Amino acid sequence: MAGKGCIMFLKRRWPILALAAAVLVAGALLLRQPASPAAAFRAYPEGLTQCDVTLRLDEDAHTLAVSETFLYRNDTGDSLDHLVLRTWLNAFATEETSPAALEETWDACYVAGFSPGYLTVFDVIWKGERAQYAYVNADRTALRVEIPPLEDGEEGTLLFRCVAQLPLCAYRTGYTDRTYRLGNVIPVLSLYRDGQWRTEEYAPIGDPFVSACADYTVTLHAPEGLTPACSAPLEKGEDGAWRGSIRAARDLALCLSDGYVRAEKTVRGVKVLSYADSREGAERALGYVCRAVETFTDLYGAAPYPALSVCQADVPFGGMEYPGLMMLGRRNYLESRADTLELTAAHETAHQWFYALVGSDSYYAPWQDEGICEYAMLRYVRARYGQGSWETLKAARVDAPMQENVPGSLTPGSPVDYFPDYDAYTSVVYGRGAALMLALDRWLPEGADGFLRAYADEFAYGFASRTDFEAFLSRYAGMDAGPLLLDYLDTAH
């Protein structure tokens, strides 16, 4: 499949002039909320899966050798006879399954023609014995590992070794020149819920990644000259290896580049690390992310991790979130797109609360993180620039999508595999999803912010389905929230 002309679009795609008007209102001054004391970090849950990861990047072959040791404790309440690993990179093996091979993204991603990415598995060992394994979905992104019965409360060790062949692809997964984006490359345990492991395929629209939290330690061996940014902040040892750790993370992602300049600042107890091709770009993104961390800490409580990295990346959309790490599209760093960089940084920072801290079903209910984060971005604008800027941006990002004619019966409650393209997905999931939050802001006595703060506390490092969201909202509001959610999420307007 080949694209018909290069379409470089934002994952959050909106008219640039509308964004500029919203953020750069003539004469607007930066409005800061009163500083509040830095909140103590949230208590991490005990008994999570422990995962020790060793990575070795080979630049000549463009491969990443991966060795993972999972200490897994069964806390499902069920007896398990198999585990499931998510092997997302395998979706890039063919043009038919690659999420980057859509017509609207092809030219932006495959700059030198199609390039495959895939995993070659070498060892799968459970409790010291080789385990049988097999892929259980068509795009080979769910690997079932057979184990002897593991009762609830019991634990065991899984050793998994593979080599990832990286695609030449300007996407959240792939490399260009001496820049590597290792998003969804490292296999992670799937989410077990309602008696089964999640095994959906890699849908090309949205972010179809659903997983539970685990504690990670990382050792990275990378060629000289490459600077890494990672979910687990890395420090270089005397032996040349980079090491770090992160607790209660749903995924583990990295970016590496030979051109990164690093800037850093600590705000609200969070060490923010910014990586970009220039000092000016690194400092500018750092400032925006620090402001967002301040705003969301004040609104929604303590951040989930003591460090947060933001890196300039070759991606065809505005940004991409991971626990403790965000990728921001390279084009956003252009001086003429300063407003877009700020809004994207705010949205992606909000995901540290609503995706990383509070897990939700980004496959079947993408509104539950994207719509909330779009609303949070609007709150950032109101807190920093005032009501006028907020109204202007709301008109572009929420009011306009509510008036659009959406094809078919797409609603914010639709799963990601229902959407035909990013335009429809962005309008419906982001815009109309945020409209629900604005309705809650009017409906609830303490507004949507009070509810979201309580929601973050209730489900911290856990998982909230749509049913969980509705039940908690009804308890919080003291009345049945079902009709309101049905109207906004399941009705084609």
The arrangement of strands across the sheet holding 118-126 comes to 129-130, 118-126, 155-165, 63-73, 49-58, 214-221, 242-249, 235-236
pLDDT of residue 228: 98
| Global pTM value | 0.92
Residues 6+ apart with CB under 8 A from 256: 57, 179, 180, 182, 222, 226, 227, 228, 229
pLDDT of residue 409: 86
Contact 114, 39 (CB under 8 A): no
pLDDT of residue 327: 98
- Average pLDDT score over residue span 127-150: 98
The CA-based angle 201-205-209, given to 5 degrees, is: 50
pLDDT of residue 408: 75
pLDDT of residue 22: 41
- Average pLDDT score over residue span 151-164: 98
Could you tell me which of 133, 161, 162, 136 has the C-alpha nearest to residue 147? Answer: 133
β-pairing, 307-313 vs 270-276, is parallel
Domain positions in the chain are: 51-211
Q: Kindly report, residue by residue over 344-399, the tens digit of the pLDDT.
A: 999 999 999 999 999 999 999 999 999 999 999 999 999 999 999 999 999 999 99
Could you tell me the sign of the dihedral formed by the alpha carbons of 32, 38, 43, 44, in that order? positive
pLDDT of residue 493: 63
pLDDT of residue 420: 92
pLDDT band at 492 (very low <50, low <70, confident <90, very high): confident
Q: Kindly report, residue by residue over 4-55, the tens digit of the pLDDT.
A: 233 333 344 333 334 443 433 333 323 333 333 344 578 999 999 999 999 9
pLDDT of residue 259: 96
Q: Quick one: what percent of the chain has pLDDT higher than 90? A: 88
User: E strands within 88-202?
Assistant: 118-126, 129-130, 133-135, 142-150, 155-165, 173-176, 179-182, 188-189, 192-193, 196-197
pLDDT of residue 4: 28
CA 462 to chain centre: 15
pLDDT of residue 40: 56
pLDDT of residue 490: 94
pLDDT of residue 38: 42
Could you tell me which of 63, 122, 118, 119 has the C-alpha nearest to residue 94? Answer: 118
Give the mean pLDDT of the chain.
91
Given its phi and psi angles, is residue 127 left (phi above 0), alpha (psi -120 to 50 degrees) or beta? Answer: left
pLDDT of residue 12: 41
- Average pLDDT score over residue span 90-108: 96
> What is residue 443's three-state secondary structure?
helix
Q: Kindly report, residue by residue over 277-293, the tens digit of the pLDDT.
A: 999 999 999 999 999 99
